[in-house]
């Protein structure tokens, strides 16, 4: 597995971020790792995304729609060490910038048909009410290797959302190129993991399913 076999290279210290507006990434820890010879990467936001498929439930679910919510603003750092147990990743996602039902993302997640502008606006409003994104505007993610020998590689992932933290074990596909890495993976969560109540209407006859499906692509360039 390429990541576990990657040898530490020479990496420059990470430049100081410019006035971060959200929870700060652990820049100092990554700078120190770079000084000690680890390979440090920064997420390339415009090439990375997290897609979230939200399904339907309830006795009248046929009258509703599945939706795809996307983050196009993933920020973060990845560090690869010759000792896999020392490798890590730390990410943050601004929830108020989430995109709802973009046609290309619906297609990627296996959903057909475009949603109307009014439907997208309504779904977006309901989403932010459920997330309480005004009070909890960020999701924070940290990842470590679950094992230095697993194939495919498996990560222990910690997600903090809505003021609560939950842990997951996530298999991923890792690709390492000169000065660049790609991480693909899928995982599922429950609304209850973060104390969230799924949106419902018509007295619960139509509601959002408890389980949420995630698919992510992270591209990072070496610093």
Residue holding tokens 């690709």?
A: 175
Lowest mean pLDDT across 17-21, 22-26, 45-49, 139-143: 17-21
Q: What is the pLDDT of residue 60?
A: 65
Residue 77 lies in a domain: yes
**Which candidate, 181, 185, 141, places its Cα nearest to that of 160?**
141
- What is each CA distance from 160 to 1, 90, 112, in whole angstroms? 29, 11, 31
E-strand stretches of the chain: 39-43, 49-57, 67-71, 75-80, 88-94, 99-100, 138-145, 154-161, 164-177, 180-190, 200-201, 206-222
Confirm whether 143 is domain-assigned. yes
Domain count across the chain: 1
Write the pLDDT tens digit of every residue in 139-153: 999 999 987 677 889
Establish if 17 belongs to a structural domain: no
* Residue 38 resides in a domain: yes
Task: Report the run of H or E that residue 119 belongs to, with start and end.
Answer: helix 117-131
Q: What percent of the chain has pLDDT over 90?
A: 71
Residue 16 buriedness (CB in 10 A; 0-12 / 13-18 / 19+): exposed
> Can you tell me the distance from the alpha carbon of 88 to that of 143, in angstroms, rounded to the nearest whole number?
6
CA distance to 13, 40, 178, 197, per residue, from 35 (Å): 6, 10, 19, 45
Asked, for residue 215, whether it belongs to a domain, the answer is: yes
Within 10 angstroms of residue 137's Cβ, the number of other Cβ atoms is 17
Question: Strand locations in 22-81, DSSP E?
Answer: 39-43, 49-57, 67-71, 75-80
- Residue 171 belongs to domain with CATH number: 2.40.128.110
Residue 208, domain member (yes or no): yes
Find the helix or strand (DSSP H, E) in which 205 lies: none
What is the reported pTM?
0.85
* pLDDT at 38 > cutoff 60: yes
Q: Which residues contact 116 (CB under 8 A, 6 or more apart)?
A: none
Q: Residue 203 above 90 pLDDT?
A: no
Give residue 125's domain range: 2-6+27-222
Q: Is the alpha carbon torsion for 182, 185, 189, 193 positive or negative?
A: negative
């Amino acid at each position: 597995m390429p990541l576990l076999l990657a040898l530490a290279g020479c990496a420059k210290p990470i430049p100081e971020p410019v006035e971060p507006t959200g929870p700060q990434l652990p820049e100092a820890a990554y700078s120190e790792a770079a000084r000690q010879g680890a390979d440090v990467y920064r997420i390339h936001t415009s090439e990375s995304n997290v897609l979230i498929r939200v399904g339907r439930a309830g006795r009248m679910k046929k009258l509703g729609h599945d939706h795809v919510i996307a983050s196009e603003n993933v920020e973060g750092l990845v560090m690869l060490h010759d000792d896999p147990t020392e490798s890590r990743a730390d990410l943050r996602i601004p929830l108020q910038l989430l995109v709802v039902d973009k046609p290309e993302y619906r297609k990627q997640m296996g959903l057909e048909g475009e949603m109307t502008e009014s439907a997208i606006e309504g779904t977006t409003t309901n989403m932010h009410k459920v997330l309480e994104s005004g009070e909890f505007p960020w999701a924070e993610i940290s990842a470590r290797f679950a094992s230095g020998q697993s194939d495919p590689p498996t990560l222990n992932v910690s997600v903090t959302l809505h003021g609560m933290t939950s842990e997951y074990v996530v298999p991923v596909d890792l690709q390492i190129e000169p000065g660049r890495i790609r991480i693909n993976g899928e995982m599922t969560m429950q609304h209850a993991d973060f104390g969230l109540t799924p949106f419902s209407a018509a007295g619960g006859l139509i509601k959002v399913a408890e389980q949420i499906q995630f698919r992510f692509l992270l591209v990072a360039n070496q610093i």
